[in-house]
Structure 1
Amino acid sequence: MSDALAAEAWAVYRAAECLHDQAAVRAAVDRLAGEVTATLRDKNPLLLCPMTGGVVLAGHLLPRLDFPLEFDYIHATRYAGALSGSELTWKVTPTADLAGRHVLVVDDVLDRGITLAALVGFCRREGATSVHTLVLVDKRCQREADIEADFVGLTTPDRYLFGWGMDYKGYLRNVPGIYAVAQSA
């Protein structure tokens, strides 16, 4: 990535609107951990993290889950650093066997639903006993796939988001809150 793109990302961050600050996000992760524990603690689940957006959330959620589980990742993307999604590209499938497992897909955001629906479909085709979905952010927008998350941390309006794993052109995943790119005047 270029220095110009880094400078652009920094300018976007400075002008952005904070929708949920760090305290709100941490409280949501704590609540999600309690909900997941109540539902899956006795099921020896496999947590599946879609790269790269889900990695920040998964890293904060895992230490809060005090029960036996396995962890793996999957990499399917529609964005590849772009601002809008296109065709789904599969990059990495899990090494863990999903057959007979209770799977929890842990992702950053549910927006149009195409990627999350594809991940759930993949898990089901691989023979998962159950597939649960957890997202940090449910963006209130028109879904293109018939899916809702089982566990939702926060909701936002239909805006371009970044922070806590969500990116702006590959940058700003590390921002400690959920931000919306400033709307044009």
Structure 2
Amino acid sequence: MSTVKIKDKTFQTSIAESEIKNRVKALAQQISHDMEGKTPLFLGVLNGAFIFAADLIREMSIPCEISFVKLASYQGTTSTGKVHEVLGINEDLSGRTVIIVEDIVESGQTMKRMIESLGTRNPASVHVCALFFKPDKLKEDINLDYVAFRIPDDFIVGYGLDYDGLGRDLKDIYTIVQE
């Protein structure tokens, strides 16, 4: 098990790149099966989900489109609890099947706000695909249609997730080591 130091924190490997790739491929197969006959629009939530979204799209076996939205609710290693929309959606969502691609769902506040915002644009349906889900932290009543990993309430970095902007480039997932 390897460790990395990012700023003032130490992290150790918790999920290997190969395991991530296998789960992403399985999610893409499930979504492709469930969405057969449709052309879903994937909305990747920046910045954390950009790698996940790219890998997921490459594994899809049905026609699909992708766009991105940027929301912010983190500062350091904790959520601020306030979601600020930074970059909006330009596509017409009327009658479209939309799949939100999120890196991690904790309290569910970000997802709830995003689902509510999308609902005003008259999509046919809205689905949520999360790379990571912390069920013990969920505070909102939301439905997660696709989840790659259910994890405990630990702070993680890698595969697009960061600590103060650093660590997104790591191929594995690393969990913070309590010092």
Provide the aligned C-alpha RMSD in A.
1.7
- Number of positions where the alignment pairs a residue of Structure 1 with one of Structure 2: 175
1:99 corresponds to which residue?
A: 94
Report the counterpart of residue 179 of structure 1 in structure 2: 174
TM-score (ref. length: structure 1)? 0.88
User: Which amino acid in 1 is paired with 2:6?
Assistant: A
Over residues 140-165 of structure 1, what are the superposed CA-to-partner deviations in whole Å (9 max), with x where a residue is unaligned?
32212112411011121101111111
Residue of structure 2 in register with 1:9 after alignment: 6
* Cα distance change on mapping 1:129 and 1:65 into 2, 3 Å: same
**1:84 counterpart = 2:78:** yes
Classify the secondary structure of the residue corresponding to 2:31: helix
Amino acid aligned to 1:113: G
Instruction: Indicate the residue corresponding to 1:151 in structure 2.
Output: 146
Paired with 2:143 and 2:175, the residues of 1 have a C-alpha distance of: 22
Partner of 1:167: 162
SS at match of 1:85: strand
Structure 1 outlier segments of 4+, above 2 Å: none
Gaps of 5+ in 1: 1-6
- Aligned partners of 1:41 and 1:68 also within 8 Å: no
Partner amino acid, structure 2, of 1:27: N
- Which is richer in helix? 1
CA distance in 2, matches of 1:10, 1:78: 20
Give, in whole Å, the separation in 2 of the partners of 1:92 and 1:45. Answer: 20
Instruction: Measure the CA separation in 1 of the matches of 2:121 and 2:36.
Output: 22
1:18 is displaced (CA, Å) by 2.0
What SS is found at the alignment partner of 1:96? coil
Equivalent positions of 1:22-37 (< 5 A) are 22-37=17-32
Letter in 2 for 1:50: V
TM-score, normalised to structure 2, is 0.91
What stretches of structure 2 of length at least 5 have no aligned partner? none
Q: Sequence identity, in percent?
A: 24
